[in-house]
Amino acid sequence: MNCAERSRVSAGTILDSCPKLSNDHSMTQTELIQELTNTCRYDKMARPRGEINATDPVKVYVRAYIYTIKSNMAKTLQFDVHMILQYRYLDNRLKFADIAPHLNQIYGGHHVHDLIWTPAVYVSNERSSALVGNNVKDLLVSVDPMGVVTLNTRLQVTLNCGLRLEKFPFDVQECPLIFESWTYNVKDMMLIWDQDPIILADELHLTEYKLVDKWVNMSEVLYTTAQQHYGHFAGNFSTINITFKLAREMGFFMMDYYIPSILIVVISWVSFWLHMDASPPRIVLGTNTILTFMTLASKLENSLPKVSYIKASEVWFLGCTIFLFAAMVEFAFVNTIYRRKKNVPLKKVNSKYILKSTLTPKLARKQFQKNTTGLERSRSWSSLDNATSTTDQDYTSQNYLTVHSFPSTLNIPSVKIDEDKDQECTVGSIVTVNNTSPPKPFSRRATLAQLHNFTTMTPQEIAQWIDRRSRIVFPVAFIIFNIFYWSFIWI
């Protein structure tokens, strides 16, 4: 007798020695489950047969009741889910409709769970992977007369979620919860979502996030022979997953970071209304706003993981820091100009020429002197020509003009002859010149500047002009920065 025949004889002997189940109305649930799971007729290590053919995979229908989601993903990249997970499958070996018709259900906990076959399922993206059924708080098993087993287990799992923080703190995350078959491949067991697979508790509330949406999916995962060192068998294994779409609650960040940072930037603009030479208050105001803002920014960044890309919060803090630093630079620039001694010549009174002449005052003076020197030369040649012409006219007048003297008792009106009209005088005219009032001094510099469209501004006037423009430029620039920033956030 070979080994195969001995095994058949041994199995036949065991089955022959196993007592037959008969209709007994006095049988209790405990007695019934013990009789059904007797080792002579029930093998806990063998999976149930398929619903149609014995070789078909057993179908395990899954449903999840979620009553708590705790999220602390900003720092740990993890979130906790508390749920009741329900498995439902058919095990024909536990059918008792003909044996104990007086019983409607068999209920039990750990004792029944240890007697029957249960699916080996684990959470693949759990922080510390463990088989479902181990380290659980509660178990509830029920078996109906047709052999349908319903296994309810309460789980608390900590899941890893790879966050994308480009738009932090206005980010939306999609975090999956993946269940995967551990022992049986798709030829032996299939995980299928039941009807209404996800049920959320009415009192479910998240602190840092709000649950925007959720959806389920079924798939298969392939493990090769080379991947067995990860602790998994080779082959295709059935997986089901729940994806939670979580949007971060931004009320906390708006009240604690964004609104205070906006107010700090606005406070820095107060220095534009202070006097240009008021160094102590303007320096104290600028340095205090920068230090306060740095403290606020570091408090937020320390609560986040270190990532290689730029976050939206970093763009905001960088932009606000630039505005605060620019306000300090504006004060240093204005104060330096205010303490200058020499006036600045300007070709035109507008932003272009004021800033150009302020930044390069020596170059502006050289340009002014160059223009005025050329103008003085042309003026001197014109004066020389006029003097020569006047000399010739005087000589002619001495030879051809006869000047008559009148009594002093007569009131002769004085005649003022312009320099240009002097050349138009006709020979032989009677001219009387009144020299009682001396001529006014000739202001050459002012006249040359006016003739060449140049004007001058004192350093104090330029400093005040820059402060007045800064009161408008800085708020407008900050508003434009906010428009671009919030447009990027909501796109």
Q: List Cα–Cα distances, 220 to 52, 122, 196, in angstroms.
A: 22, 14, 21
Polymer length in residues for the chain: 491
The tens digit of pLDDT for each residue in 26-44 reads 778 888 888 888 888 888 8
With a cut of 60, say whether residue 48 has pLDDT above it. yes
Sort 437 into a burial class: Cβ within 10 Å, 0-12 / 13-18 / 19+: exposed
**What 3-state DSSP class applies to 169?**
coil
Mean pLDDT of 201-215: 84
pLDDT at site 192: 93
Question: What are the start-end ranges of the E strands in 45-126?
Answer: 58-71, 78-90, 106-108, 121-123
pLDDT at site 215: 92
Say how far apart CA 293 and CA 324 lie, in whole Å. Answer: 9
* Gyration radius of the chain's alpha carbons: 49
With a cut of 70, say whether residue 346 has pLDDT above it. no
Out of 240-254, 344-358, 419-433, which region has the weakest mean confidence (pLDDT)?
Answer: 419-433
pLDDT at site 229: 52
The tens digit of pLDDT for each residue in 182-197 reads 888 899 999 999 988 9
With a cut of 80, say whether residue 426 has pLDDT above it. no
Say how far apart CA 125 and CA 246 lie, in whole Å. Answer: 17
In this structure, which amino acid lies at residue 190? M
pLDDT at site 265: 95
Max CA-CA distance within the chain? Answer: 177
pLDDT at site 318: 94
Question: By C-alpha distance, which of 156, 125, 290, 104 is closest to 221?
Answer: 125
The tens digit of pLDDT for each residue in 111-127 reads 888 899 999 888 888 87
Q: Locate 476 and state its tokens.
A: 């407008």
With a cut of 70, say whether residue 227 has pLDDT above it. no
The tens digit of pLDDT for each residue in 300-342 reads 877 777 788 888 999 999 999 999 999 999 998 888 888 877 7
